[in-house]
Amino acid sequence: MPTTLADVTRVIEGLWPLAGAEAWDAPGLLAGDPAAEISAVLLAVDPVADTVAEAIDTGADLLLVHHPLLLRGVTSVAEDRYKGALLARLIRGGCALVAAHTNADVVADGTSAVLADLLGLQQPRAIEPAATGGTGLGRVGTLGEPTTLGRLARRLAEILPPTASGVRVSGDYDAPVRTVAVCGGAGDSYLAHPEVRAADAYVTADLRHHPASEAREQARLGGGPALIDVSHWASEWLWLPVAARQLTEALPGIRVTVSELRTDPWDFTVIQ
């Protein structure tokens, strides 16, 4: 019996149930015929031209991404717009598209959990426990051995795939660090969360001037974490090998590959 796209989406929804997704999110099957036969899956963080081309060029029948391509309403899939062009390329190439986004963040071994695990955080708990199913978003835990902020940042630089922006830190290089909060992807909404405020360092991505500056100013008065800002793509890419392993276990006949293409939008940094 060939494995169909419907079989694979059932497995995907078993691993990362759609009920766990945030209300604003749009994960799940974005394109493809549920009756189509699936023999190879490519995993990537972003549905962009490079990963779509890689999926088709390597003979994948399914591109499984973290970020949904159609999160906000579109009124056209004309091919002079990139979303239409990507969908047309996928459909013509016989490649389906599925996203596992916040539903892959909340599970026990979701995006933040993988980051917490690679940092060696012990007994990690969710920053924000899940309302429906799963563990919740973000993780906070303690390091087996206390370290310093500088060494924690260097460790992150080793763990994460390389990006132009690297690892940016707000805080003292030698500040002691024991409790660490992490949130893969954009986690500025947790800057004022009590679990994050109580940590020695908070690792997340996409920290902008005002949220970061305000959190650090408040920390000077009432305590709060040092901030470590990493690449959004890199922080979530770490989840892909774990997801690939889970898919391979559930679908032993399917070839599952992780894209190594860097889809972080930044290409270079000029250090002053």
List residues binding Zn ion (CB under 5 A).
185, 236
Spell out the long-range contacts of 17-22 with Cβ–Cβ below 8 A and sequence spacing 24 or more.
17/103, 17/107, 17/133, 17/134, 18/103, 19/103, 19/132, 19/133, 20/102, 20/103, 20/106, 20/107, 20/130, 20/132, 20/133, 20/134, 21/101, 21/102, 21/103, 21/106, 22/102
Q: How far is the CB of 66 from Zn ion (least distance, A)?
A: 6
Q: Which is nearer to Zn ion, 83 or 151 (CB)?
A: 83
Q: Which is nearer to Zn ion, 195 or 236 (CB)?
A: 236
Q: Which is nearer to Zn ion, 9 or 235 (CB)?
A: 235
Residue nearest to Zn ion (CB): 185
Q: How far is the CB of 223 from Zn ion (least distance, A)?
A: 29
Q: How far is the CB of 258 from Zn ion (least distance, A)?
A: 16
Q: How far is the CB of 232 from Zn ion (least distance, A)?
A: 6
Q: How far is the CB of 3 from Zn ion (least distance, A)?
A: 28
Contacts of 86 (CB under 8 A, 6+ apart): 47, 48, 49, 52, 69
Q: Which is nearer to Zn ion, 197 or 232 (CB)?
A: 232
Q: How far is the CB of 155 from Zn ion (least distance, A)?
A: 22
Q: How far is the CB of 174 from Zn ion (least distance, A)?
A: 31
Q: Which is nearer to Zn ion, 185 or 224 (CB)?
A: 185
Q: Which is nearer to Zn ion, 166 or 185 (CB)?
A: 185
Q: Which is nearer to Zn ion, 8 or 104 (CB)?
A: 104
